[in-house]
Amino acid sequence: MKVKTLMGVFPIIFITAVVFASVGLVTWTDSVTATKIEEQKEQEIQSMLKEMFPSMSEYTFEDDIYTIYSGGTGVGYAFLAVGKGYGGDIDILIGLEDEMTIKGITIISQSETPGLGSRIAESSFASKFAGLNIGDVALKQDGGEIDGITGATISSGAVVDAVRTAAMEKVKSLRERE
């Protein structure tokens, strides 16, 4: 009688043991890799900021805005934005020289159509934003200063919209700080 019950229960014991073993292995792997993943993220942000602000020596992060310093002087601000592209989210890093001028943008990730919308990631598109007044950030057809990419109006527009909206929002919160 006792042996029979054990036989019936054994499968459950077995699978529970397997689950425990697997949870253990996975948790251990996570603890080992988690710190590395965090480090990666921080390093990535740092190198992108440095590329945008070559004179950067350090930066601070508060309320979703990076303040960039060179030596002891502030040289600009940066923040992330997400555009709603054709193929999904477009992650953008936006740099400001001051509260009125764009320093530049970097497309961090996008999944637009290869050969068409994906060209927003090319430097020729990003450079169109550099030095622009925030108010001028719009497609030429909408009264702004930016030429959209031929055949990729949606992708171009998504970036333009995201940059303008985020810039205006962040400038507002910067002004509220003062």
Question: Taking CB under 8 A as the criterion, which residues in 42-71 touch other proteins?
Answer: 44
Nearer to other proteins, 22 or 57 (CB): 22
Stretch that binds other proteins, among 28-36, 46-54, 144-152, 164-172 (CB under 8 A): 28-36
27 counts as binding other proteins under rule CB under 8 A? yes
Options 46, 67, 69, 87; binder of other proteins; rule CB under 8 A:
87
Cβ-based nearer residue to other proteins, 67 or 113: 113
Stretch of residues binding other proteins (CB under 8 A), selected from 10-18, 45-53, 61-69, 98-106 = 10-18
3-state SS of the chain?
A: CHHHHHHHHHHHHHHHHHHHHHHHHHHHHHHHHHHHHHHHHHHHHHHHHHHHCCCCCEEEEECCEEEEEECCEEEEEEEEEEEECCCCEEEEEEEECCCCEEEEEEEEECCCCCCCHHHHHCHHHHHHHCCCEHHHCCEHHHCCCECCCCCCHHHHHHHHHHHHHHHHHHHHHHHHHC
**Residues at the contact surface with other proteins, assessed by CB under 8 A:** 10-12, 14-15, 18-19, 22-23, 25-27, 29-30, 32-34, 36-37, 40, 44, 86-89, 109, 113-115
